[in-house]
Structure 1
Amino acid sequence: MNKNRKLQIWTDGACKGNPGPGGWGAYLVWGEKALELCGGEVETTNNQMELTAVIEALSAIKRPVPMVVSLDSQYVKNGILEWMPQWKKRGWKTAAGKPVKNIELWQKLDQLVSTHDIEWKWVKGHAGEPGNEKADELANRGVPKKA
């Protein structure tokens, strides 16, 4: 086994209207193996779907392995790398003293992140990066169709 091998994960969210029907997608690649995950909600926001995509991807991992999570959401990237440590110090409040939006999702993500060795990578969305395009396709597939 290659000790330098890392699990590659791409995540994305999609929303038709904001709020509105939304979907999330995650594409996980480990060597020759790939896993496609997607789902959605009838009434949600794009940010909630971006967070859910990362949560679902990390929840699917059964044992700790080094990984690279690539995402096109500045909201999630900044939340994890910059804002979350401060929110936690302030009891999950923003700098303005208001409750953090989507707190349940952020807290679940915080719990999952603490158990994994993750390298975060921001990628430009809709720019032809194959993993990101696949995650976008999955997110759109997850958007519930109207009955």
Structure 2
Amino acid sequence: MIELFTDGASSGNPGPGGYGAILRSGKHYKELSAGYRKTTNNRMELMAVIKGLEALKSPNQTVTVYSDSKYVIDSIEKKWVYGWVQKGFKDKKNKDLWLRYLELSKLHNIRFVWVKGHAGHPENERCDQLAVAAGKQKDLLIDSVFEVENAKVNLL
């Protein structure tokens, strides 16, 4: 079994932000993080899950994802995202990331567990540190889909 701990952060919403993820299986342990120059907290929460799943080397893994994001967990566990797909994500954000997650979800047996954020959960606290630090780096990545979508909205 693989445990995936995740967190996302942004300074401003939108603003610079990052994600942090920890993959753990037996004695194996890997930390992942990256920062983006303009993003949202929800995008980074979802990106942490995606990047963690993308880091798995083989399909058909049993993965328990620990997240403090009600947005991510409720969207999946309450099956809201499947309704969004049927409606073409009308009036919903983060379509690009949700579609990416849904493709990854076909490869593994994934279970979600909500953890209370900023409540002393060691791995959640570490993921928060990774996410915040990633968002403060000098050379931040460009979340091109998000920036292009927002540029279009701002032009209207």
Question: Does the 8 Å CA contact 1:42/1:144 hold for their aligned counterparts?
Answer: no
Q: Which residue matches 1:140?
A: 132
Say yes or no: does 1:112 pair with 2:104.
yes
* Count of residue pairs the alignment pairs up: 137
Q: Which residue in 2 is equivalent to 1:90? A: 87
Name the CA distance, whole Å, in 2 between partners of 1:138 and 1:146. Answer: 15
Which residue type is aligned with residue 38 of structure 2?
E
4+ residue runs of structure 1 moved beyond 3 angstroms? 144-147
Q: 1:72 aligns with which of 68, 71, 89?
A: 68
TM-superposed deviation, 1:146: 5.3
1:25 aligns with one of 4, 20, 28: 20
Q: Is the counterpart of residue 128 in structure 1 residue 124 in structure 2?
A: no
What is the rounded CA distance, in whole Å, between the counterparts of 1:87 and 1:61 in structure 2?
A: 27
Task: Tell me the TM-score normalised to structure 1 length.
Answer: 0.88
- Are 1:7 and 2:11 counterparts? no
Query: Structure 2: which 5+ runs fail to align?
Result: 140-156
TM-score (normalised: structure 2): 0.83
Alpha-carbon distance in structure 1 between the residues aligned to 2:98 and 2:125? 24
How much is the aligned-residue C-alpha RMSD, in angstroms?
1.4
Structure 1: gaps (5+ residues)? 1-5
Residue equivalent to 2:57: 62
